[in-house]
Amino acid sequence: MESLYKLKSLSAMYKDVIVGHDLTKKQREECKALVSEAKVKSASGDWIYKVRGLPGHWKLVQQRRR
């Protein structure tokens, strides 16, 4: 995952390739729940909430609105 930026410098055939982490169904559901929680929290207030971290070890991070 660290060297995927090199795909963009290859031929045009690989420029549109999208690579993501391989997640289990439980991990996908957990991520989706955290993202929806972040959207609800961000809708009101002075903070923006984002989901950050490695797959399976996600956490909500708050940032001040600009």
Does 59 map to a domain? yes
Q: Which domain holds residue 40?
A: 23-66
Separation CA 5–CA 45 (nearest Å) = 36
* pLDDT number for residue 14: 73
Structural domains of the chain, count: 1
* pLDDT number for residue 1: 73
Does 16 map to a domain? no
pTM comes to: 0.69
* CA distance readout (Å), 41 to 37, 60, 66: 6, 10, 16
Does 5 map to a domain? no
* CA distance readout (Å), 40 to 2, 12, 35, 36, 48: 32, 39, 9, 6, 10
* pLDDT number for residue 18: 78
Number of residues in the chain: 66
Of 42, 40, 48, 44, residue with least CA distance to 65: 48
- pLDDT mean for each 10 residues of the chain (66 residues): 75 76 91 94 90 91 90
Does 52 map to a domain? yes
* pLDDT number for residue 19: 80
